[in-house]
Amino acid sequence: MKITIVGTGYVGLVTGACLAEIGHDVFCLDVDPRKIDILNGGGVPIHEPGLLELIARNRAAGRITFSTDVAASVEHGEVQFIAVGTPPDEDGSADLQYVLEAARSIGRHMNGFKVIVDKSTVPVGTAQRVHGVLAEELAKRGLMHSVDHRFSVVSNPEFLKEGAAVDDFMRPDRIIIGLDEDENGDAAREKMKRLYAPFNRNHERTIYMDVRSAEFTKYAANAMLATRISFMNEMANLADRVGADIESVRRGIGSDPRIGYHFLYAGCGYGGSCFPKDVQALIRTAAESGQNLRVLEAVEEVNHGQKEVLVKKIAKVCGEDLAGKHFAVWGLAFKPNTDDMREAPSRRLIADLLARGATVAAWDPVAAEEAQRVFALDLANAPEQHARLTFASSQDDALTGADALVIVTEWTAFKAPDFAHLKKVLKAPRIFDGRNLYEPDAMAELGIDYHSIGRPHVNLANSAA
């Protein structure tokens, strides 16, 4: 099938590359010529494991094209995926300007039956708005009732984890397709069935529902996962107070099949492009419908506070005034295997350390370049603080002369460092671990003052005794 992807961001590129991989003819459109130049030059504007190789293979096979030509993109695809950004507006609601503009462009150029697929994460009712925009554009062309210009709007939300998106797309748990039973619904259903047929050969993974339910499903899924994270973080904070070990608690409750182990890890808060934005958008959608989502309001509040837990632990040990203190920070991206800095806990942590007078040497194996851009913006009004932030050339370089190591992202490279060397290069053998990578008893035996999230702190003097 001929497929058009509008938007070459995270969702659009993964979707386009994976659909090309299974044999479809994919045209990827973006209005940003910089992105298209990177892609046509053999690069990828985002970091996602396996994506560069996937695109290169399908470009060589002639199954994927990148362009800024809107008319050509609309002409190409019988199915038009809208995969543009939906950033949070000032009130927390999803900003749909890019989705609606993509729909307008399709309406201005379309000829023949088209299935327009909302792939972007959008609030309930967006498909109806997209339908209205398409109808408006066709009416301007005098084609609203033309049988040769029919269309159907479908909701097909993505469920991709950054860092594992290619595998998630190629081995989906489920494929959600929302469509309405209108005069074009049957034709749209058949096209979507053909499109995803390769993923349903072993067993049927597609779940069909109405459009509004499909839009709601995406938000509800992310809200549930965010809730589990914030729940465990609250339990970890309580464990700190009562002397329990949150890792033992995690294993104890995760063994219950009704609960399971996924998303039960305590830490320094969630970030990224999905959970913060989607929780806010769902809260806003509820408010517009006259309802307060008290659980999700608490989830958001807990996550906001959790990003301050590490710096509070640091201040308790090192003092409220950190002037003259130097910290190594390992991990800047909001999670491993990505360079995504959106809502990353490292941003709050580093900003707080700098505000308290400290200097920081930061390291991330992938996100360093993006982090430099982000912190230049975050600290634009605080040049003196920005001057106290440096980006190390290596994981080891970050440690030199630091009063403590602070771990924010659970990169694999951080899970088994050379602790003997670490002790030598740090001014003090001290670690503040926001991801609970190590065992407190083992750290104490090595002579490292180890502070984690929701796990008992082992006093070195007691350990030596």
Q: What is the CATH number of the domain that holds 200?
A: 3.40.50.720
* Residue 22: how many other CB atoms lie within 10 Å: 15
| 8 and 149 co-located in one domain | yes
Q: Is 214 among the domain residues? A: no
Q: What is the pLDDT of residue 465?
A: 40
The position carrying tokens 């469920």 is 159
CB 409 within 8 A of CB 435: yes
Identity of the amino acid at 156: N
* Residue 437: how many other CB atoms lie within 10 Å: 16
**Pairwise CA distance, residues 2 & 362, whole Å:** 45
**Pairwise CA distance, residues 442 & 456, whole Å:** 12
Domain of residue 320 covers 307-464
**Pairwise CA distance, residues 408 & 398, whole Å:** 14
Q: What is the CATH number of the domain that holds 225?
A: 1.10.1040.10
Edge-to-edge strands, sheet with 326-330: 389-391, 359-363, 326-330, 404-407, 430-433, 449-451
Phi and psi at residue 189, to the nearest 5°: -60, -40
Q: Under 8 Å CB-to-CB from 376, ≥6 apart: which residues?
A: 386
| 440 and 351 co-located in one domain | yes
Q: What is the pLDDT of residue 385?
A: 97
CB 338 within 8 A of CB 306: no
Q: Is 274 noted as a catalytic residue in this protein?
A: yes
Q: What is the pLDDT of residue 146?
A: 72
CB 430 within 8 A of CB 403: yes
What is 163-202 written as a DSSP string? TSHHHHHHS-S-EEEE---STTHHHHHHHHHHHTGGGGSS
| 437 and 315 co-located in one domain | yes
CB 66 within 8 A of CB 36: yes
| 179 and 244 co-located in one domain | no
Strands (E), 10-113: 25-29, 64-67, 79-82
Phi-psi group of 92: left, alpha or beta (phi > 0 → left; psi -120 to 50 → alpha; rest → beta): left
Distances (CA, A) of 361 to 32, 311, 437: 33, 15, 20
Q: What is the DSSP letter of 403?
A: S
Strand partners, 362: 329, 391
Q: Is 424 among the domain residues? A: yes
Length of the chain: 465
Identity of the amino acid at 101: E
| 291 and 346 co-located in one domain | no
Q: What are the average pLDDT values for consecutive 10-residue runs of the chain, which has 465 residues?
A: 96 97 97 96 94 97 97 97 88 87 96 94 93 94 78 95 94 95 86 95 92 96 97 97 96 96 96 92 93 96 97 97 97 96 97 98 97 97 97 96 97 96 95 97 96 93 52
Q: Is 41 among the domain residues? A: yes
The position carrying tokens 């702190």 is 457
Q: What is the pLDDT of residue 19?
A: 98
User: Counting Cβ atoms within 10 Å, is residue 379 exposed (0-12), middle (13-18) or buried (19+)?
Assistant: buried
* Residue 88: how many other CB atoms lie within 10 Å: 16
Q: Is 316 among the domain residues? A: yes
Q: What is the pLDDT of residue 413?
A: 95
Alpha helices in 111-256 (DSSP H): 126-140, 165-170, 185-195, 211-242, 246-254
| 29 and 142 co-located in one domain | yes
Final residue before a domain boundary, out of 262, 284, 304: 304
At 432 the three-state DSSP class reads strand
At 80 the three-state DSSP class reads strand
| 52 and 188 co-located in one domain | yes
Phi and psi at residue 125, to the nearest 5°: 100, -5
Q: What is the pLDDT of residue 167?
A: 96
Catalytic residue (choose from 18, 28, 268, 274): 274
Final residue before a domain boundary, out of 254, 275, 304: 304
| 192 and 56 co-located in one domain | yes
**Pairwise CA distance, residues 352 & 341, whole Å:** 17
Phi and psi at residue 196, to the nearest 5°: -100, 10
Q: Is 138 among the domain residues? A: yes
| 390 and 279 co-located in one domain | no
Q: How many domains does the chain have?
A: 3
| 155 and 269 co-located in one domain | no
Instruction: Report pLDDT digits (tens) over 59-106.
Output: 999 999 999 999 999 999 999 999 999 888 777 778 899 999 999 999
| 191 and 246 co-located in one domain | no
Q: Is 254 among the domain residues? A: yes
Q: How many helices (H) and strands (E) does the chain have?
A: 20, 14
Q: What is the pLDDT of residue 203?
A: 86
Query: Which is it for strands 25-29 and 2-6: parallel, antiparallel or unpaired?
Result: parallel
CB 66 within 8 A of CB 28: yes
Q: What is the pLDDT of residue 94?
A: 82
Nearest Cα neighbor of 262 from 219, 302, 224 is: 224
Q: Is 177 among the domain residues? A: yes
At 65 the three-state DSSP class reads strand
Q: Is 101 among the domain residues? A: yes
At 328 the three-state DSSP class reads strand
- State the maximum Cα–Cα separation within the chain, in Å, rounded to a whole number: 87
**Pairwise CA distance, residues 326 & 345, whole Å:** 19
Final residue before a domain boundary, out of 285, 304, 323: 304
Residue positions forming the annotated binding site for substrate:
159-162, 218, 263-267, 271, 335
Angle in degrees, CA 201, 202, 206, rounded to 5: 70
